[in-house]
Chains A and B, each alone.
Chain A
Amino acid sequence: MRGLTELEAVFDAPPPATGIQAAAEDLLLASEEVLEHWVTARGETPTRDEREGFRLLALHRQGANGDPSFNACRETCREVAYHYNLVTMQPEHADITNRLSMMGLVSKHLYLFISGKLQVAGLGEFCCSSKPIRSGNDIETPTQEEA
């Protein structure tokens, strides 16, 4: 698993003139590695399973288990998978370079979101919706006497 700084460089790299398919593979792999960071930080072993043909989606599901806020990047993961399919299933498409660029931007969003969550207080509260609706650990609710 590459470090986060190294992964950011992958997402920031401009689309290559050749080897577009390989670049898409690397973006997908780098996105999986970002999720591996999240899962590992939670003290778990990243899954090797796949969902709907993508390990990325299985890793997201693992990362969201018990943390509904993590679903805030669910659609981003699905968009990474979708753009990977666009690039790899239609390699001769006239818009292939833009499609790869878009995959890079979507992957980078996943990276920024997760690395932000990792930065702030470890597994902190980067996302405003990051607390489960019924977390069971609410604090400061006034007692009947106080109220």
Chain B
Amino acid sequence: MTTKDKYKKVAYYPGCALEGTGHAYNRSTKAVGKKLGLELVEVKDWNCCGAMEVKNIDPKIQTYLSSRVMSTAANEMDMDVVMAPCNGCYHNLKKAEYDLANDKESAEVVDRLSKKAGHKTYESGQVETIHALDWIKDSIGEEGLAARVKNSLSGIKVANYYGCMYTRPRHIFPEKDQGPGSESTSKPHFMDDLLAAAGAENVDFPLKTACCGGAHTLSDSDTSTKLVLNILKAAKLSGADVIATECPTCHSGLEMHQIRAEKMLGETVDIKILYFTQLLGMALGLKAKKVGVHENVSDSMKFLKEKGLG
């Protein structure tokens, strides 16, 4: 079976953020999938991936939590691909996969906890974890996407912001940096490629993988606000109208600290923040509400209407 066919039906792991602050990402991912004829089967009774909090206290417990999600997909749903749109979930599942393949102690802890919890132990390699970007890029591709565009994104200048967890650390993403066609860890481009196929003009954005301070948005809000403000300013200086995101933590951080920067520092940066799936959905002819634009913190409706979208 080709990758293209394999990705047509995948196990969907939305993760906690997509049920809360990132609900618009959840809604738009599902809507885009449906529009493209791709099937998502939500992982049954999924649990937290371990996020940042568990990982920083005990990485092996995080490995177990992520492995349980993969075990359910593989052993109870007979799926061989898990798609996680959240960078945190995606990163953690990939890390768990790496740990289980390379660290005997992690494998032992996972086996012990799995038996105690009463489910089959996940064995490294049973599933392939992919991001929403891989899913669309490899199942539909740029040409396929361009052929389906109803409302071109032409006239919209986009700064593509990938955040830090989509490509780091490099060794847990063995499929990246494999030459033409593969994703790059230093200069990721899958989101750029998809949005360009939908007609958008991507700008050269030097902070596309820079830290947004997301992990410390509450414990060190001032630094997070300054980091986000810097990202917003750099995107604006790059000539962008919109920052496209593919991570709910980055997205929420950009939106909330955009407001906080205005209140606390008196600095306003007029730039829109939208999930790449929202932009793609509208390019495919979906209404703004269908892709959850009304659920974003920032208001992009006027801008989108001016561009003939939504």
Main secondary structure of the interface of B (DSSP, over half): helix
Q: Is A109 an interface residue (CB 8 A)?
A: yes
Q: Is A101 an interface residue (CB 8 A)?
A: yes
Which residues does chain A contribute within 8 Å of B216, judged by CB atoms?
A: 116, 120, 126, 128
Q: Is A68 an interface residue (CB 8 A)?
A: yes
In the assembled complex, how far is the CB of residue B126 from the closest CB belonging to chain A, in whole angstroms? 21
Give a binary string over B154-175; 1 marks a CB under 8 Å from any A CB, 0 the rest: 0000000000110011111000
What number of residue pairs across chains A and B have CB atoms under 8 A from each other?
118
CB <8 Å contact, A98 and B61: no
From 39 to 69 in chain A, residues with beta carbon under 8 angstroms from any chain B beta carbon are 68
In the assembled complex, how far is the CB of residue A12 from the closest CB belonging to chain B, in whole angstroms? 10
CB <8 Å contact, B215 and A116: no
CB <8 Å contact, A147 and B112: yes
Which residues does chain B contribute within 8 Å of A82, judged by CB atoms?
A: 206
From 18 to 39 in chain A, residues with beta carbon under 8 angstroms from any chain B beta carbon are none
Instruction: Report which of A83, A127, A133 forms a contact with B215, defined as CB distance below 8 A.
Output: A127
Q: Is B95 an interface residue (CB 8 A)?
A: yes
In the assembled complex, how far is the CB of residue B167 from the closest CB belonging to chain A, in whole angstroms? 9
Give a binary string over A105-147; 1 marks a CB under 8 Å from any B CB, 0 the rest: 1101100110110011000011111110111001111101001
CB <8 Å contact, A108 and B169: no
Q: Is B38 an interface residue (CB 8 A)?
A: no
CB <8 Å contact, A129 and B237: no
Q: Is B268 an interface residue (CB 8 A)?
A: no
- Determine the distance from Cα of A24 to Cα of B171 in the docked complex, in whole angstroms: 34
- Determine the distance from Cα of A66 to Cα of B98 in the docked complex, in whole angstroms: 19
In the assembled complex, how far is the CB of residue B234 from the closest CB belonging to chain A, in whole angstroms? 4
Instruction: Report which of A72, A79, A133 forms a contact with B164, defined as CB distance below 8 A.
Output: A72
Give a binary string over B194-228; 1 marks a CB under 8 Å from any A CB, 0 the rest: 00000000000011011101111001100100110
CB <8 Å contact, A133 and B169: yes
CB <8 Å contact, A125 and B56: yes
Q: Is B241 an interface residue (CB 8 A)?
A: no
- CB-CB nearest in chain B for A11: B230
Q: Is B1 an interface residue (CB 8 A)?
A: no
Instruction: Report which of B52, B59, B116, B226 forms a contact with A147, defined as CB distance below 8 A.
Output: B116
Which residues does chain B contribute within 8 Å of A83, judged by CB atoms?
A: 206
CB <8 Å contact, A105 and B233: yes
Q: How large is the interface on B (under 10, 10 to 19, 20 to 34, 35 or more residues)?
A: 35 or more
Instruction: Report which of B58, B169, B230 forms a contact with A109, defined as CB distance below 8 A.
Output: B230
In the assembled complex, how far is the CB of residue A31 from the closest CB belonging to chain B, in whole angstroms? 13
CB <8 Å contact, A133 and B59: yes
- Determine the distance from Cα of A141 to Cα of B63 in the docked complex, in whole angstroms: 11
Q: Is A73 an interface residue (CB 8 A)?
A: yes
Q: Is B16 an interface residue (CB 8 A)?
A: no
CB <8 Å contact, A106 and B206: yes
Which residues does chain A contribute within 8 Å of B142, judged by CB atoms?
A: none
- Determine the distance from Cα of A28 to Cα of B80 in the docked complex, in whole angstroms: 48
Q: Is B257 an interface residue (CB 8 A)?
A: no
CB <8 Å contact, B230 and A105: yes
| Residue of B60, B206, B207, B231 with most chain A CB atoms under a 10 A cut-off | B206
In the assembled complex, how far is the CB of residue B122 from the closest CB belonging to chain A, in whole angstroms? 16
In the assembled complex, how far is the CB of residue A10 from the closest CB belonging to chain B, in whole angstroms? 15
Instruction: Report which of A102, A126, A129, A133 forms a contact with B238, defined as CB distance below 8 A.
Output: A102
| Residue of A101, A126, A128, A135 with most chain B CB atoms under a 10 A cut-off | A128
Q: Is B128 an interface residue (CB 8 A)?
A: no
CB <8 Å contact, A101 and B220: no
Q: Is A88 an interface residue (CB 8 A)?
A: no
CB <8 Å contact, A112 and B116: no
CB <8 Å contact, A133 and B95: yes
A-B contact pairs, 14 of them (CB 8 A): A68-B169, A75-B187, A79-B207, A101-B237, A102-B206, A102-B237, A119-B220, A127-B164, A128-B165, A139-B57, A140-B57, A141-B61, A142-B113, A147-B112
- Beyond known contacts A120-B219, A141-B109: 12 more, CB 8 A cutoff: A72-B164, A73-B210, A78-B186, A82-B206, A83-B206, A109-B207, A119-B223, A128-B55, A128-B56, A128-B215, A133-B172, A147-B116
A interface residues, Cβ below 8 angstroms from B? 68, 71-76, 78-79, 82-83, 98, 101-102, 105-106, 108-109, 112-113, 115-116, 119-120, 125-131, 133-135, 138-142, 144, 147
